[in-house]
Amino acid sequence: MANPIVLLITFLLLLHMYSGSSSPAADPEQVVEEVLTSINNATKRRNLGFLSCGTGNPIDDCWRCDPDWEKNRKRLADCAIGFGKGAIGGRNGKFYIVTDPSDKDVVNPKPGTLRHAVIQKEPLWITFKQDMVIKLKAELIMNSFKTIDGRGRSVHIAGGPCITIQYVTNIIIHGINIHDCKQGGNMYIRDSPDHYGWRTLSDGDGVSIFGGSHIWIDHCSLSNCQDGLIDAIRGSTAITISNNYMTHHNKVMLLGHSDSYTQDKNMQVTIAFNHFGEGLVQRMPRCRHGYFHVVNNDYTHWIMYAIGGSASPTINSQGNRYLAPDNRGRKEVTKREAAAETKWKNWNWKSEGDLMLNGAFFRKSGAGASFSYARASSLSAKPSSLVSSMTAGAGVLKCSKGSPCST
């Protein structure tokens, strides 16, 4: 067995090497090629993933160290944290194995395709027979109580419209590469075995949550979509976005439909253990009206700002690591939209235990009364010094039968 002191020294050296660097945005064509061929290749930070067990990441520590994860797939449904912890997906249903990556008929989808699986009425835990790239003909409209579990396969949803979670509940999406998503629609699309309807043009999001609840998106790799990587609007709530690796995108995450849509005051979202990486510009996330717990994420690239919002959202930033993208002076993490300081100074935006590097700073506001953050205690923040190890395995993992999943 290796000397634990040597392992510790090695870890600290790797951490030091990584923390002082930031990657510039790549050429778009190069990005697509890299995503398709090597999105999960180890980098300096992801080589820290051997510390994935027992580092304080409660999701990974719940299931990831189990070498029999394939036999115990549904254990994952008991591992969610935060506001989306009630999302059970297809835990109480049968397994459905996707065998066919095609999507030729969106009104009468072929059995064995992902579209046929997600529209069924009963709970289903959806897995994949082999590696596949799924280029959807139209947005994938999901029915309630579904888990899409990509572990053990390399599954890409890319090059066409992507995932829509509209007015449904209890959805888990885990271990999927989602990238290069386009607009789609102006056609009939089936959303259940006994209903199909006309859909207008979609936005081109990676994952679009519209009036959905009890949603958990975990360990996915997302990049380069036409609109947002993950957007949640129109009364969506009880959402956790965790352990994802997001790169090469402008408007990353929109949470809240519009300043005038006050129903989003009930929105509650936990954003935890994600790695916001190279080539990102803004909206990590951009918030409206609701309550947003941003906890133990690693921000290593953000050109305009990391966290923004309008319409008086409550933002609780705890234990994150914010590495400003350059050293040319101070760089603000936050941005208030569409409001004068006389208004936004009363918005409750809190930073607690965050690590600010390379000139990053968080502009706090509001009275900071404890009651305004009480309902946001979706999970306890760990020290920001642990962020690198807790997020080292962010994104899609490599999972082989008989051994724990790794980076």
Specify if 399 maps to a domain.
no
Specify if 396 maps to a domain.
no
What is the rounded CA–CA span in Å between residue 312 and residue 367?
13
Q: What is the pLDDT of residues 270-291, one digit of tens each?
A: 999 999 999 999 999 999 999 9
- Give CA angle at 332 (353, 337), nearest 5°: 110
Specify if 395 maps to a domain.
no
Q: What is the pLDDT of residues 350-392, one digit of tens each?
A: 999 999 999 999 999 997 655 556 554 567 899 999 999 999 9
Helix (H) or strand (E) holding 322: strand 321-323
Residue 118: CATH number of its domain: 2.160.20.10
Q: Compare 44 and 145 and report the one with higher pLDDT.
A: 145
Residues with a catalytic annotation lie at 283
Specify if 67 maps to a domain.
yes
pTM of the model: 0.87
Specify if 86 maps to a domain.
yes
The bridge status of strand 195-199 relative to strand 187-192 is: antiparallel
DSSP code string of 199-232: E------SEEEES-EEEEEES-EEE--SS-SEEE
Specify if 314 maps to a domain.
yes
Confidence of residue 17 (pLDDT cuts 50, 70, 90): very low
Q: How many domains does the chain divide into? A: 1
Amino acid identity, residue 249?
A: H
Specify if 50 maps to a domain.
yes
- Residue 66 is predicted with a pLDDT of 93
Q: Which two tokens stand for residue 306?
A: 């990391």
Specify if 404 maps to a domain.
no
- Give CA angle at 249 (170, 234), nearest 5°: 40
Confidence of residue 37 (pLDDT cuts 50, 70, 90): very low
Q: Which domain holds residue 361?
A: 4-390
If you compute the radius of gyration of the chain from its CA atoms, what whole number of angstroms results? Answer: 20
